[in-house]
Chain A
Amino acid sequence: EPEVTQTPSHQVTQMGQEVILRCVPISNHLYFYWYRQILGQKVEFLVSFYNNEISEKSEIFDDQFSVERPDGSNFTLKIRSTKLEDSAMYFCASGTGGYEQYFGPGTRLTVT
Chain B
Amino acid sequence: GEDVEQSLFLSVREGDSSVINCTYTDSSSTYLYWYKQEPGAGLQLLTYIFSNMDMKQDQRLTVLLNKKDKHLSLRIADTQTGDSAIYFCAESIEGNNAGNMLTFGGGTRLMVKP
Q: Which residues of B contact A31 (CB under 8 A)?
A: 98-99
Q: Chain B contact residues: over half helix, strand or loop, or mixed?
A: strand
A105 to B101, CA, bound (A): 18
Q: Which residues of A contact B31 (CB under 8 A)?
A: 99
> Which of B14-22, B39-47, B59-67, B73-81 forms contacts with chain A?
B39-47
* Interface status of A48 (Cβ within 8 A of chain B): yes
* Interface status of A65 (Cβ within 8 A of chain B): no
Determine if A105 and B42 form an interchain contact, defined as CB atoms under 8 angstroms apart.
yes
A50 to B95, CA, bound (A): 14
Determine if B102 and A45 form an interchain contact, defined as CB atoms under 8 angstroms apart.
yes
Q: Which residues of B contact A95 (CB under 8 A)?
A: 99
A42 to B91, CA, bound (A): 13
Determine if B99 and A91 form an interchain contact, defined as CB atoms under 8 angstroms apart.
no
Interface size in chain B (residues, C-beta < 8 A): 27
Taking each of A35, A51, A58, which has the highest tally of chain B beta carbons within 10 Å of its own beta carbon? A35
Give A56-107 interface residues, CB cut-off 8 Å to B: 56, 58, 91, 93, 95, 97, 99-106
Q: Which residues of B contact A105 (CB under 8 A)?
A: 40-42
CB B25 to nearest CB in A, in angstroms, measures 14
- 21 inter-chain pairs at a CB distance below 8 angstroms, sorted by A residue, are A4-B42, A33-B101, A42-B4, A43-B43, A43-B90, A45-B101, A48-B101, A50-B98, A55-B99, A91-B43, A93-B43, A95-B99, A97-B99, A99-B100, A100-B45, A100-B48, A101-B45, A101-B100, A102-B45, A103-B44, A105-B40
Residue positions of B touching A, CB distance < 8 A? 4, 30-31, 33, 35, 40-45, 48, 50, 88, 90, 92, 97-107
Inter-chain pairs besides A31-B99, A42-B106, 15 sampled, C-beta below 8 Å: A33-B99, A35-B104, A43-B43, A43-B88, A43-B104, A44-B104, A45-B102, A45-B103, A55-B99, A56-B101, A95-B99, A97-B99, A99-B30, A100-B45, A103-B43
